[in-house]
Amino acid sequence: MSAADPFDSLLTIEDTLYTDAYAQGIADGARAGRIEGRVFGLEKGFEKFTAMGRLNGRACVWGARMPSFASMEEKISVNKSKKEDGVKQKSALPPLQPNTRLQKHISMLHGLTDPLTFSTSNTEDAVADFDDRFRRAGAKAKIIERIIGESSDATVPDAASPKGRKTKIAVEGKKEENIEDFTGSRFLS
């Protein structure tokens, strides 16, 4: 009875199909996991760079509002308005009070958030440096806000109030999105 049983392949067909399907599921899951991880990484990276850009923009605006820069801009705008024949309404943010400590904080914030000074490569050291700069820049922005009395919330001054009372602006996003719903993502196309 050394002959192989001709029904062995039929009797083990369930086990064979299960093993093949399991191996295919593992391969598909690994591929989907890499895609999902890549999409998640791109989204988080974009969010971080957007936030860093906001901080850089705020540093530029605060720097422009410092008295030394504001007086130069006023001279330039006066010269331009004299050259133009039309009536021009001037709308500008009020200049900040002269303060050397504030100037140092603003220049440090600008140095931390300047896009030319940090690496965008996806290495461990570059990511750690970016995260450290982002954390320090956020702390500097809070210090500057406290010094000048502004808030980082999405607020605008209320025009009806003489003191410029701040009112919140409602910002809504898609709350029904789920990170696991990546099949319809634009990154997969």
| pLDDT tens profile 151-189 | 766 444 444 444 444 555 554 555 565 555 545 555 544
**What is the arithmetic mean of pLDDT over 33-44?**
92
**What is the arithmetic mean of pLDDT over 47-74?**
84
Residue at 109 is within a domain: yes
Nearest to 32 by CA among 181, 152, 186: 181
* For residue 21, pLDDT beyond 60: yes
Please give the share of the chain, as a percent, with pLDDT higher than 70.
Answer: 66
pLDDT recorded at residue 161: 42
Separation between Cα atoms, residue 154 and residue 173, nearest integer Å: 14
Residue at 2 is within a domain: no
Residue at 140 is within a domain: yes
Residue at 118 is within a domain: yes
Pair type for strands 155-157 and 166-168: antiparallel
Residue at 119 is within a domain: yes
Q: How does DSSP classify residue 97? A: P
**What is the arithmetic mean of pLDDT over 53-77?**
77
Tell me the pLDDT band of 89, cut-offs 50, 70 and 90.
low
Instruction: Please tell me the total count of domains within the chain.
Output: 1
**What is the arithmetic mean of pLDDT over 130-150?**
93
pLDDT recorded at residue 183: 52
* For residue 27, pLDDT beyond 90: yes
Nearest to 148 by CA among 38, 67, 54: 67
Nearest to 111 by CA among 67, 55, 64: 55
Name the token pair of 63. 């720097």
Residue at 181 is within a domain: no
Which structural domain range is residue 27 located in? Answer: 12-80+95-150
- Rounded to 10 degrees, the C-alpha dihedral 54/55/56/62 comes to 110
pTM attached to this predicted model:
0.59
